[in-house]
Structure 1
Amino acid sequence: MVERRLKALVIAEAANPEWVSVPLVGWSLAHALRDVADVHIVTQVRNRDAILRAGLVEGRDFTAIDSERLAAPMWRLAERLSMGKGVGWTMKTAVSTLGYGYFERLVWRAFGPAIRAGQYDVVHRVTPLTPTANSRIAPLCARAGVPFVLGPLNGGVPWPRGFDSERRREREWLSYVRGAYKALPGRGAMLRHASAILCGSLHTLGEIPAGFRAKTVWLPENAIEPARFSLTAPQPGTLPLRGCFIGRLVPYKGADMAIEAALPLLRDGRMVLDIVGDGPQAGALRDLVAREGVAQAVRFHGWLPHAEVQGVAARAQLLVFPSVREFGGGVVLEAMALGVVPVVADYAGPGELVDDATGFRIPMGRRAALVAGLRERLEAIAADPAVLGVMAAAGQARVMRDFTWAAKAAQVERIWRAVIAGAPLPQELPLPR
């Protein structure tokens, strides 16, 4: 028997096919869900033109809510308070979140009558990803008898011990009191009335009160579009190794630790390293490379279009990515999709996406210990590079099975059907370790 296609209202305040980070996640999941259900996307007006260029029809496929009267000044305030471009993300998130309630009020004004009339089988808020943005629509949907699904929620991974200097350089002053969001009005009502709560990390899942754990599902928010990953990295099992680092050049991402750990291999020709990305740390990294005499083995590519990033990464055998505060770790999945073996800090998102069959996790510790552990691992790989071929194949297979946007949409649809049927929630992926 063929199941009826569900009708879903997907709220994705940030959903933009032409941007990166959270807006791209919101767009990618919302758009993928259109293949498994009759989905109407509700987003913020700043995304309207990009979504039109992607081929969707306004009014039929999506609605753009104009909340700029509050959203625009709140974002300008967030930029000022964070005191720097590319830093102070906790402040930016907190201030921007203050205006989210206004956006939802406009959403309910536009769609509340249809929800109350039973025109949707489920309402799902995909973005904001941050668990600090409470939803006033959750209790309203419950009152209307329509299941409300929340998430994936992610964010707020604590700064690890020993990285206070990086925390200060990132101007993350507000992160010291971030836990206060749990006392914000409306959080209890949102969690109580949500039919399912998708958590993008074990940390976020752990912040959900015990009484609501039965309706939580661990489901990382990132995925890949296979059509964008047409290359497979060579894994010849010989030296020199080629490593790559991909990301913003900011202290917590750890590009400096990747270079420091690799110095012995870079000096003697056993490894070369590609650095893809840019940011406030770029100058200091170039100085480090020059000072240590390894400029011949390290290439800085700066920012590259996504298609060109794939070309650089697919020449590497390793993704060297010791980020110490990574919520999602989308770059890890992208590397695995290319057959590049990740070497990551065993902390937060990357540590949950990588297992012993698909990559290497360096035990988390203070900076010196993390660098030492990373160096030890790189030395071991250089001594036996043949181990990388099997791991690369295993990582590529896992991503193509569990972490494509099509797979993610199918996972979410099964959760929708469970909440509609009042059945136990499927745990779509095995919990890490």
Structure 2
Amino acid sequence: MTATVPEASPVAVRPQRILIATDTYPPDVNGAAYFTHRLATGLAARGGDVHVVCASDDGRPRTERVDGVVLHRLRSARLLVHPTMRVAVPAGLGRTVDRLIERIEPDVVHTQGHFVVGRAAVGAARRGGVPVVATNHFMPDNLFQFAHIPAGLRDRVGTLAWRDFSRVFARADHVTTPTPIAAGLLTGKGFGREVEPVSCGIDLRRFRPQPRAWARLHFGVPERPTILFVGRLDEEKRLEELVRALPKVRNQLDAQVVLVGTGNQRESLELLADRIGVGEHVRFLGFVPDAELPQVYSVADVFAMPGVAELQSIATLEAMASGLPVVAADAMALPHLVDGNGFLYRPGEVAELAAHLTTVLGDEELRASMGRASLALAAGHDHQRSLARFEQIYLEVASR
């Protein structure tokens, strides 16, 4: 008689448990905050058990579940050098994150920076024996205007900032940054570890070509050739170049500039536009909620990015996924996003910027061709591919 072998019970496999550490998270408005939110919610939607530790948006420490992610908001105070951001209170932060890691038992800690929360999380993970993945979104240029660093001291301060970055990120098991150029920047600044480029990615289901007439009516944008910028109205975005280019474009076309976002340069940009005679043709839409952001790209005929401190530029990717041609500064990682879908110009060369904008706006067939090229390039940055790569990285570091 043959003995019956009982069937083995299936072994339950729990989802990856990831603790993402970040100094900036919505409602903060910046590229790193948006990327971290998309990373956290995207991983959660794919079945991950995702926790985020970040500064409280109102000062009060609390834990809450938002968009499928468990947020651990730390006690915070206003950041004196920034008009809106808050910073986690450093006193006792290491012990707080130690206890958090002990309670959550994450498979991996993924830090998005090397400042207060990121630094504490790396230290706590090392003490707790948890592997660390680190993604860099930092350039000193992003901080100079807020810290009021004089121009003559910026090189020296930048060198010290990069050394501090290297000390923290050298403790990670795996380091990423959005683009090959950004990875090369870290190597050039003396960071001795291998850095993997992993695109921030773009949600191609949300950002896609949409009807222009409805968008212009909704946002109150007049019917004329339109140049769009989306992002912070801050110093490193160099938006004065875009405003100064507009009169040269208007010598040939009845064009306008639409600026979406907030920042400390708005008043000076308004004054500049009035002084050079284009005040009525530079429109400030201010903050646009995330739910309406995909529609705002549809008001435009071309997207302009004059910034010189872009490690990838999520806004440019969103514009490309929306089918827009791009005119961008030939600086940092922006050349990675311009290949048959627009033009690069030398930073500071306003006449060159104006000439490229005029060419795109004045040629409907060229504009359509470049729009198709933008869509093709954006398809290579589908954020599902980025999420899958991060999941693979987490498994790799956890198995070591």
Query: Which TM-score tier does this pair reach, normalised by the shorter chain?
Result: 0.7 to 0.9
Tell me if structure 2 keeps the 8 A contact 1:253–1:321: yes
Distance 1:378 1:189 in 2: 42
* CA deviation map 1:237-273 (0-9, x unaligned): xx96321122333333222211212322224435232
Distance 1:220 1:112 in 2: 31
Query: Alignment partner for residue 36 of structure 2, among 26, 33, 37?
Result: 26
Distance 1:42 1:345, change over 3 A: same
* CA deviation map 1:311-342 (0-9, x unaligned): 34202121122122334422112211211222
1:29-428 equivalent positions in 2, closer than 5 A: 29-44=39-54, 46=56, 52=64, 54-56=66-68, 62=70, 64=72, 66=74, 68=75, 71-72=76-77, 76=78, 78-79=79-80, 82=81, 85=83, 96=87, 99=90, 102-112=92-102, 115=105, 120=106, 122-128=107-113, 133-134=118-119, 135-140=122-127, 144=129, 146-151=130-135, 153-156=136-139, 158=141, 171-173=148-150, 175-176=154-155, 177-184=157-164, 188=167, 190-191=169-170, 193-201=171-179, 202-203=181-182, 205-208=184-187, 209=190, 211-213=192-194, 216-221=195-200, 223-229=201-207, 231-232=209-210, 241-352=225-336, 354-364=337-347, 367=348, 370-404=349-383, 406-420=384-398
Distance 2:292 2:253 in 1: 25
The corresponding residue for 1:12 is 21
Distance 1:172 1:217, change over 3 A: same
The corresponding residue for 2:220 is none
The corresponding residue for 1:162 is none
The number of residues matched between the two structures is 369
Distance 1:15 1:317, change over 3 A: same
Which SS does the other structure have where 1:20 is aligned?
Answer: coil
* CA deviation map 1:259-310 (0-9, x unaligned): 2123222244352322223444333333333343334543333333344454
Distance 2:89 2:380 in 1: 38
**Which amino acid letter does the alignment assign opposite residue 123 of structure 1?**
V
| CA positional deviation for 1:111 | 2.3
**Which amino acid letter does the alignment assign opposite residue 128 of structure 1?**
G
Tell me if structure 2 keeps the 8 A contact 1:278–1:303: yes
> Hey, which of these two has a bigger chunk of helix by percent?
1
Distance 1:46 1:246 in 2: 26
Which SS does the other structure have where 1:34 is aligned?
Answer: helix
**Which amino acid letter does the alignment assign opposite residue 85 of structure 1?**
P
Under a length normalisation based on structure 1, what TM-score does the superposition of the two structures give?
Answer: 0.70
The corresponding residue for 2:3 is none
| CA positional deviation for 1:175 | 4.4
Distance 2:158 2:321 in 1: 34
Q: Which runs of 5+ in 2 are unaligned?
A: 1-11, 214-222
Distance 1:211 1:98, change over 3 A: farther
Which SS does the other structure have where 2:193 is aligned?
Answer: helix
| CA positional deviation for 1:345 | 0.8
